[in-house]
Structure 1
């Protein structure tokens, strides 16, 4: 494993000419009919392993949403980590979407559990609401283990503005304060050879104007960009999160890719073929939008 997360991720994007990530969000009721008949975890495991196989040639990374595994108890957690290993064996960068956050020794425990050891993903998502002392243990663990963190800054959900747009007396919004914190945490000590930090930011594609402003604040951060596809954002919206050179971001799509077999456009294809084709189209759409 290369020493620096951002360097590994950017190299993977360049190698595949694909600034995209597919999210594994397995819901039993949405699995292909043949897999819904199996025991829940068995169906999820088969589905996720097949998805990894068919998207691996087209994407730089996968984002595994831990909630869909945790709800199945110890067996689900074990499957989450097995999929981390399998995705890495396929040459994919693996992001654990765990959205952890706390302070002190609890944050240190979360960080060690998700960022240290052979089975840990390459990076995890972190909730920064506790402030810098809640995030620093994750940053320290990432730096020590050649891994990364993506801190929630401007999320893609519709109600995000109700809190994240709250403005102080100077006119500065809450999400801009969080961006300042992320930029400070991602200072020189965390920056790799390609000029980007292992401390990244989650910036929703559904807010392109804000993304352009945030790129100026966080010029060394890789943006993890949700919101494409099922949430309504286009490739042009996503492009707002990239640098002027077409770098510095990776766009995630989950439902629009992994459940593509439920889309009428792919109705005549086996489900695996539909997922693979959706991943290829997603990658091509984003590559064209950012000039790769």
Structure 2
């Protein structure tokens, strides 16, 4: 795969070949303890290496949560750099879950950290927050296009606190759209004409129930947290996402990771989720 091939095209192929599944790499302290690892850099390294070695050659997406690496300072970031490099080398697409959002040169610097092809943390896509205004993401959008990367923009998240912002109605919008719907509309515009799939996706929770009042047809991927420990199941996906379900990338973290540190058990859990999701998607 050419590094400059658009992320959306690479993601579509990975989902078709490997199944539409993202597995989180979330080495928080309680999970390290469950694995019998110390909450230190050595434990972090063992955890991340095990996940990458077990799954990077079989799942479409690995999604490291940068905060759990950053808490160890520069040594933790070094572990993250290695995990990203090895995951991509094994064929998984890496979505860096960093939820960056700022304005001007600061947003440009965040973008360069994760979306410039020569950056140590270069990832196939980055999660970003648009709540300083969608236009504040322009540096990330431009650099992603330049380097064949993508973005996942927080739109309709599964955390209960998100509603006070994302469900707020914009009084200046003649259609009376809420903020989440406005973000979806921006993304649809970014993806206009892209084939087979645009590179600019939305984060939309799988736990949100019926979303038929939203236009999810953004011609881009929908990263859907909430499968597994948060209560959503693969069978819920068609009801939640409707006709857009084929472009959904469900993310599972604890539902897979709790089976570690045994690599075989991790692979088996990921395979089960991938097959359940594939069956639910193809049933529509």
Question: Equivalents in 2 of 1:56, 1:204: separation in Å?
Answer: 24
Partner of 1:266: none
For the 8 Å contact 1:180–1:218, the answer to whether it is kept is no
Query: Superposition pairs for residues 22-171 of structure 1, below 5 Å?
Result: 22-31=23-32, 35-37=36-38, 40-118=40-118, 119=120, 120-169=122-171, 171=176
Distance 1:138 1:243, change over 3 A: farther
- Deviation of the 1:243 alpha carbon: 6.7
Distance 1:22 1:217, change over 3 A: closer
For the 8 Å contact 1:60–1:92, the answer to whether it is kept is yes
Gaps of 5+ in 1: 262-269
Partner of 2:192: 187
Question: Equivalents in 2 of 1:15, 1:240: separation in Å?
Answer: 24
Question: Equivalents in 1 of 2:34, 2:177: separation in Å?
Answer: 50
Distance 1:58 1:243, change over 3 A: farther
SS at match of 1:97: strand
Per-residue CA deviation, residues 233-271 of structure 1 (Å, 9 max, x unaligned), is: 11132335657485212110111111135xxxxxxxx73
SS at match of 1:207: coil
- Deviation of the 1:90 alpha carbon: 1.1
Partner of 2:270: 279
Partner of 1:289: 280
Partner of 1:258: 257
Gaps of 5+ in 2: none
- Deviation of the 1:4 alpha carbon: 0.8
Partner of 1:209: 210
Deviates more, 1:240-249 or 1:51-60: 240-249
Question: Equivalents in 2 of 1:127, 1:280: separation in Å?
Answer: 31
Give TM-score scaled by structure 1 length: 0.87
Partner of 1:4: 6
- Deviation of the 1:77 alpha carbon: 1.1
For the 8 Å contact 2:44–2:79, the answer to whether it is kept is no
Distance 1:217 1:109, change over 3 A: same
Question: Equivalents in 2 of 1:58, 1:241: separation in Å?
Answer: 26
CA RMSD of superposed structures (Å): 2.2
- Deviation of the 1:57 alpha carbon: 4.5
Distance 1:130 1:275, change over 3 A: same
Aligned partner (choices 161, 164, 174) of residue 179 of structure 2: 174
Question: Equivalents in 1 of 2:163, 2:251: separation in Å?
Answer: 21
Query: Superposition pairs for residues 211-226 of structure 1, below 5 Å?
Result: 212-214=212-214, 216-226=215-225
